[in-house]
């Protein structure tokens, strides 16, 4: 049996939570030449320990997003780019322009420029639900979909800089793609959960960690639903390999209130002091089980959220990010 040789691909931010899962999934899908760009000095050794790593040409490039030459070196020779890298911190930025906005927007443009320079077949841009919401003008009876864009003025007035960075970066990418004839699709993951392949704690798994430790943060501005990170990785490859894929793709296993998620987590792990929320945590947000219709129509099957929660909790414990606690009765 002859195997079709897969294209060489580049994953920016390939040692982060989503990036590491994309690299692992690419290996499982038979990709044998994978370039990974990582922030200079960051740890990428876990990628070499992935099950299929011994059978793959895995090339790691240290590249600051703002270093266009370094980004070019990472992308050169690749037919596909999965642009995942974007600054995201558990702490509020002291200088949003320098820490978030500039690297997100200019970094994305540097990746797009490299894609154009080396005639990349397709760019899959990891955007976020943070480029869809918050959008207070959205009709409350309609579930959010890919036509929603985050209200930048609303975010700026509330000092919510991460959604601003993701929205501006995606808009810049679409503008560049249309002007320069670069084939691009965008994916918008909700809160990603699952096994941590990377050594550090990432922002989305920290949402579950903090919930289990009694946090009463409603996630008002940042929540649509949850999704297993392996489904996000599978969706990325599906979007790269499906010629008819185009535009934006919401990636979430349903839209529902964060309070409902907290109730599910509490039932799964009654030994933890999970806060019980009263009323709507996302006022006026319409629920929708099949919110990711565009991906479902391409054949993506979502992992149950309960499975994602269980795997995340086991991983958080194994990595020392979660200590056993006793529920407050």
User: Which among 94, 322, 53 has a CA at the least distance from the CA of 211?
Assistant: 322
Q: 276: exposed, middle or buried (C-beta count within 10 Å: 0-12, 13-18, 19+)?
A: exposed
- For the question of residue 166 being annotated catalytic, the response is yes
And the tokens for 265? Answer: 């987590």
End-to-end CA distance of the chain: 61
Token pair for 9: 């691909």
Check: CB of residue 12 under 8 Å from CB of residue 73: no
Torsion angles phi and psi, residue 61, rounded to 5: -115, 125
Q: At 36, phi and psi to the nearest 5?
A: -125, 125
3-state helix, strand, coil in the chain (%, to 5): 40, 15, 45
User: From the candidates 6, 117, 166, 293, which is the catalytic residue?
Assistant: 166
Token readout for 205 is 């798994």
- Tell me: cis bond preceding 23? Omega within 30 of 0 counts: no
Give the residue numbers marked as catalytic.
Answer: 166
């Amino acid at each position: 049996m002859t195997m079709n040789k897969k294209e060489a691909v580049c994953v920016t931010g390939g040692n982060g939570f989503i990036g590491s899962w994309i690299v692992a999934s690419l290996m499982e899908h038979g990709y044998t030449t994978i370039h990974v760009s990582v922030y200079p000095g960051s740890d990428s050794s876990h990628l070499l320990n992935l099950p299929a790593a011994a059978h793959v040409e895995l090339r790691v490039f240290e590249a600051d997003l703002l270093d266009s030459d370094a980004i070019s070196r990472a992308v050169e020779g690749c037919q596909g780019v999965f642009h995942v890298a974007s600054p995201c911190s558990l702490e509020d930025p002291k200088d949003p322009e320098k820490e978030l906005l500039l690297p997100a927007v200019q970094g994305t443009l540097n990746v797009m420029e490299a894609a154009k320079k080396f005639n990349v077949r397709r760019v899959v841009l990891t955007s976020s639900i943070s480029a869809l919401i918050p959008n207070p003008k959205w009709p409350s009876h309609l579930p959010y979909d890919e036509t929603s864009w985050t209200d930048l003025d609303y975010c700026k007035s509330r000092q919510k800089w991460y959604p601003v960075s993701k929205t501006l970066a995606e808009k810049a990418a679409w503008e560049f793609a249309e002007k320069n004839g670069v084939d691009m699709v965008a994916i918008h993951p909700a809160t990603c959960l699952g096994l941590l392949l990377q050594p550090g704690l990432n922002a989305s798994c920290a949402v579950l960690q903090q919930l289990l430790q009694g946090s009463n943060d409603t996630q008002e501005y940042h929540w649509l639903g949850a999704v297993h990170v392996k489904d996000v990785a599978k969706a990325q490859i599906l979007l790269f390999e499906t010629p008819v894929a185009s535009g934006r793709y919401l990636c979430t296993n349903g839209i529902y209130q964060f309070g409902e998620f907290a109730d599910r987590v509490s039932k799964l792990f009654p030994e933890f002091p999970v806060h019980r929320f009263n009323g709507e945590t996302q006022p006026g947000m319409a629920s929708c089980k099949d919110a990711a219709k565009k991906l479902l129509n391409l054949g993506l099957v979502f992992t149950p959220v309960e499975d994602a929660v269980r795997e995340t909790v086991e991983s958080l414990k194994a990595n020392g990010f979660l200590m056993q606690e006793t529920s407050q009765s």
